[in-house]
Amino acid sequence: MDKDSLSVNLQKVFDAYDEEDVPLIVILGPTAVGKTELSLKLAKLLQGEIVSGDSRLIYRGMDIGTAKPSQEEMALVPHHLIDVTDLDKPWSLSDFQHAVDEAILQIHRRGNLPILVGGTGQYIRALSEGWKIPAVKPNPSLRKILENFGREIGPEALHSRLSTIDPLAAALIEPRNLRRTVRAFEVIFSTGYPFSAQRQCQPSRYRLLKIGLHRPRAELYQRIDARLDAMIAAGFVDEVKNFLCQGYSPDLPGFSAIGYRELADHLQGKISLEEAIVLIKRRTRVYVRHQANWFKMDDPTIHWFLVEEGYEKKAEDTIMQWLSADNE
């Protein structure tokens, strides 16, 4: 099926699926690889709407440091799950699952194609693998104790302790993510069972096509460095300063987004701007390696594309064949 005939028959193709078999394209890959650019082109081509699968784009005001799509980009096609909460009102994985399911269903009902885009591995895997989050009610007093202990010894040290008692759960949590590490401990202490043992999976309600993007590691690091330099020039420091001036604490979970806590330390006189930039670049490299654990190149469910000249056409052809496979 070529582009023209696909465009003409998109509505017929989408109508062939019911709400228990909704077609969903997932665009995944490491930070700075080029997911936004591809998603915009595909959404315009395929009558699509973009759903963010990034755990930081949900926050209002976190624009520069998260590389949030610009207002001009978001005006090109509909976007969802961007700017939906404030920094002091974080979402849980369960919150994301409910919101993303509703967004995808509404897109499908409008006769459009949902395209989930993101680099937050836990979000993407939870959706595509049908995770059922443990039904353990929050324990505020226990959580407060764990959070205070985590801040005292450091997020990585608390994560290391989680690795000792539940290595499977720890492997799925970024070591600096205090909130998720604390939640894992909270569930373990509340139930007496490993957090990983309580996560259940069920068949996905979606007909999935996962598109993975990758670049040579050295090239990706160069893009990351250049992007951070551009962020600093665009006012990243002032963005963080604005949050601090509004009274937001750097201890909030949202500040674990790469760059925000480092720049907060700079603004509070703890480190220089140059030191903050070095730390941000170093931490981003670690994050890229962590993302590789979520999105493995040998995963047979992911169609991987090297971002090079002509790759977009290959990705389009793969999607067109997938959309038309059961509807010819």
In the chain, pLDDT over 70 holds for what percent of residues?
Answer: 91
The pLDDT confidence band at residue 8, using thresholds 50, 70 and 90, is: very low
For the stretch 211-239, pLDDT in tens is: 999 999 999 999 999 999 999 999 999 99
What topology does CATH give the domain 140-198?
A: Histone, subunit A (1.10.20)
Between CA 261 and CA 258 the distance in angstroms is 7
Domains of the chain, residue spans: 3-132+201-324, 140-198
According to CATH, the superfamily of the domain at 3-132+201-324 is P-loop containing nucleotide triphosphate hydrolases (3.40.50.300)
Q: What is the pTM of this model?
A: 0.81
Q: Nearest 5°: CA angle at 109, between 111 and 6? A: 20
pLDDT tens, position by position, 279-313 = 999 999 999 988 888 889 999 999 999 999 999 99
User: Which neighbouring-strand residues pair with 51?
Assistant: 80, 116
In whole angstroms, give the CA distance from residue 14 to residue 24.
11
